[in-house]
Amino acid sequence: MLMRHCMMALRAARSQTSMNITRNPQNNFLHRFHSSKAPAIGIVDYDVVKKLHSEPEKLLIDVREPEELKETGQIPASINIPLGVVSQELAASEQLFKSKYGREKPKADTEIIFHCKIGKRSLKAAEAATALGFRNVKNYEGSWLDWAKREGLPK
């Protein structure tokens, strides 16, 4: 008899817990953890990037390899941080970042725009920056090929 009451109490407790999670999922830690969304990565176009030379509070990062820049050049006002080290560099100290790039290290809410040759590596860099806690991250999808075409430069 005691065993039967224990089993009934256990079933009731399980049922109540299950209903509480279903009815009120924000109370469930695992639900909150898995449901949290990373900030969306914005998309910019040529017109936005063209104006960046007059907006020094924004940061344009070219994630191509230095050899690529030697062949093609780079977008004015951009700094070069290759994709392979972008996470490391964005996580560096403010002093180290400034000494390497001649700019203040971006804050969590600084607008950071990434570009590469066609927009694929820059998307990966944007995702890495978002994972580091940067909240205002954008990708220039057209990247160098779009810029070069519109500016009449070699691709």
* C-alpha dihedral (129, 131, 137, 138), degrees to nearest 10: 90
Per-residue pLDDT at 8 = 55
The confidence score (pLDDT) of residue 127 equals 98
Structural domains in the chain, sorted by start: 2-35 (no CATH), 42-151 (3.40.250.10)
pLDDT the model gives residue 155: 77
| Residue whose token pair is 């953890």 | 33
Catalytic residue flag (residue 6): no
Short-list 121, 136, 128, 106, CA closest to 43: 136
How confident is the prediction for the chain on average, in pLDDT? 85
pLDDT 10s digits, 1-10? 555 554 555 5
The pLDDT tens digits of the residues spanning 15-51 come to: 544 444 344 444 444 444 444 556 799 999 999 999 9
**Better-scored residue on pLDDT, 1 or 69:** 69
Distances (CA, A) of 40 to 36, 49, 108, 131, 134: 12, 19, 14, 11, 11
What stretches of the chain adopt beta strand conformation (E)? 42-44, 59-62, 78-80, 112-115, 137-140
For the entire predicted model, the pTM comes to 0.76
How far is CA 112 from each of CA 57, 69, 98, 130, 149, rounded to the nearest angstrom? 9, 20, 15, 10, 23
Nearest alpha carbon to residue 60 among 125, 153, 14, 148 = 125
Q: Which of 83, 86, 116, 125 is catalytic?
A: 116
